[in-house]
Chains A and B, each alone.
Chain A
Amino acid sequence: MKDLLPFVDNLSVEKFADKSLLFKLKESYNKKQYLPASLISDGTINITALIIALFFEKKPLTIIEEPERNIHPYLISKVVEMMKDASNNIQILVSTHNPEIVKIADLENLLLISRDKEGFSIISRPSEKENVKIFLKNEIGIEELYIQNLLEL
């Protein structure tokens, strides 16, 4: 957590009599009090949820939808690194529309989901496409091919 969000000093969960839980967080800027979830940024909450899903859930498969949501672009490479780290122990499937994630993820781990003329989904591996290899060799980045919708070539 500190690696991504160095200002987080501590996390806590408060239990209430009605069995509801309140997530709260203490920042290094103000060590005297915890901030309730309602006052914490969405990005901080998403990163916290990701850490729990990746490192504290005892399940062999974790599927994450758009982990980039509400997260500053600078932190995305760290989020991907964290997911790669966790993937040593569990299988992780990530869906994304984020070019930064596409850029940082290893090419052989990318699966492209597109739709054919009838609207059916097709899954393909950009790493196996000859044209993608040619573009990459000529220094057209994978994220550029993704943004311009050229990965399915």
Chain B
Amino acid sequence: MSTKYKQLFFLVEGNDDERFFQKIIVPKFQKKYGTVKIWKYAQQKTEKISNFIRSIKSMGADYFYVVDIDQSPCVTAKKKEIKRKLKNVEIDRIIVIIKEIESWYLAGIDNKHCKKLKIKVIENTNNITKEKFNNLIPKKFNRIDFMSEILKNFSIEVAKQKNTSFKYFIEKYDC
């Protein structure tokens, strides 16, 4: 069945995730969905997130719940943790980012742009945390500027090579 007129919601944690999804991921899904929206769940109570998911399901829309793996030992454990907290979320709708959204940002810069931005080339960003990312920010940028600069030159193909969870997400959902 065509999903062209369906709605899709991305439930993301905060502003850094929203910036990334809005610029890189949403345009990909706009080819398949009539409307693609982002909802930020940081600081929301579990009950409210659950109510939001219930609403989405009631309107027949699709959704993805996007979460960082943080300290969880593996994706399955993280998904189980989320499922314990949010009873009405479907396991296959949970997208686990390894390791944090910053690793997805960094994954999309090719070697040429790494040089241009004066940051070291990182071949695999699976272990990039917020702290490691912050330490890489060149002096001439503040954090938000740096993130925006990365997104301007972001390559999905490069990101697939440098981050496992990004590759899995992009390929699984064929976008």
Interface residues of A (CB under 8 A from B): 130-131, 134-135, 137-140, 144, 148-150, 153
Nearest CB on B from A12, distance (A) = 46
Number of interface residues of B (CB under 8 A): 12
Q: State how many angstroms separate the Cβ of A128 from the closest Cβ of chain B.
A: 15
CB under 8 Å from chain A, chain B span 25-44: 35, 37, 39-40
Q: A150-B37, A153-B35 are in contact. Are A140 and B52 (CB under 8 A)?
A: yes
Cβ contact of B51, chosen from A130, A139, A148, A150, cutoff 8 A: A139
B142 within 8 A of A: no
Q: Give me 16 A-to-B residue pairs in the complex whose CB atoms sit less than 8 angstroms apart, sorted by A's number.
A: A130-B59, A131-B7, A135-B55, A138-B51, A138-B52, A138-B54, A138-B55, A139-B48, A140-B51, A140-B52, A140-B55, A144-B48, A148-B40, A149-B37, A153-B35, A153-B37
Check if B58 is an interface residue, CB within 8 A of chain A. Answer: yes
Pick the 4 closest A-B CB pairs, nearest first: A138-B55, A138-B51, A135-B55, A134-B58
Inter-subunit contact B40/A134 (CB<8 Å): no
Closest-CB distance, A124 to chain B (whole angstroms)? 14
Are A134 and B7 neighbours in the complex by a CB distance under 8 Å? no
A45 to B55, CA, bound (A): 42
A134 & B55 in contact (Cβ 8 Å cutoff): yes
**Complex Cα gap A134–B35 (Å):** 17
User: What chain B residues lie within 8 Å of A137 (beta carbons)?
Assistant: 55, 58
> How far is it, in angstroms, between the C-alpha of A149 and the C-alpha of B59 when the chains are bound?
17
Q: Specify which chain A residues have a CB less than 8 angstroms from the CB of B37 in the assembled complex.
A: 149-150, 153
Chain B residues with Cβ below 8 Å from A140 are 48, 51-52, 55
| A140 to B59 Cα, complex, angstroms | 14
Interface 0/1 of B57-88, CB less than 8 Å to A: 01100000000000000000000000000000
Bound CA–CA A149/B35 (angstroms): 13
